Amino acid sequence: MEAALLDVFIEEAGYEEGHPRIRDIAFQVHAGELLGLIGPNGAGKSTTIKTLLGLMKHAKARVSFGGSSGRYAYVPEQPVFHDDLTLWEHMDLAAAVYGLDYESFGRDADRLLRQFGMEEVKNDLPGGFSKGMKQKMMLMLGFLSKPDVYIVDEPFIGLDPRATKDFLRLLDEERSRGAAVLMSTHVLDTAEKICDRFIMISFGKTVVEGTLADIRESAGLPGASLFDCFDSLA
């Protein structure tokens, strides 16, 4: 099998020395693959993401990013932005950080603004945006960089049906390009339709990993929905 674009092994990680919140979590994500990170609230999903991003001070972990650029994009659940920069200035700043060619950046930025219906507010400050508009901005900034790996935390919160459809279409295009995606989500009916595999975490440990068929087998529920399997296993 082709080398993983994201290879994660977390022996343990926590917010205080000697008090790990997660243990023995390991997974890989390959080119074109979408791995769904699922689990109940407090299971350790956010801690897992923070650990692989290198944000946990107390962690024993090994994380490697592959691909031609080794670049990844992180789309957080809670939008993060500069109060004094417009939407366009945020995109311009991201392009500079990623070292993007300005001409291609302009084309891609205009396309994303159009696809997410944000053209009319591109020169506005995001502080006045709705939750959904702020989430759209985070997604656009992520797609702009065309990374090898996407790490997306609860992307559907605040998105209307049209924006959700646009997001999923763009994500499919990026996967066709060869990008790998790790997505943490509570929206299990959508996850069931779009994820290739899942890793379910509960009480800080991996409960089960695999395809929907694997999850059903572990739950002893042949033909069940991901939601029903989740309810049984978590």
pLDDT digits (tens, 9 = 90+) for 31-70: 999 999 999 988 999 999 999 999 999 999 999 999 887 7
DSSP 8-state secondary structure symbol assigned to residue 57: S
The predicted model gives 115-131 an average pLDDT of 95
Residue 1 confidence (pLDDT) above 60: no
Q: In sequence order, which residues have a C-beta less than 8 Å from that of residue 35 and are 6 or more positions away?
A: 27, 29, 180, 181, 182, 183, 195, 196, 197, 198, 199
The predicted model gives 183-212 an average pLDDT of 95
CA distances from 151 to 45, 74, 181 (A): 12, 5, 6
The predicted model gives 75-94 an average pLDDT of 94
Percent of the chain with pLDDT over 70: 99
pLDDT of residue 59: 97
- List the strands of the sheet with 58-65, edge to edge: 22-29, 6-14, 58-65
User: May I ask the CATH architecture of the domain 6-71+147-233?
Assistant: 3-Layer(aba) Sandwich (3.40)
Q: Pick the closest to residue 110 from 131, 134, 129, 87 (CA basis).
A: 87
Beta bridge partner(s), residue 209: 199
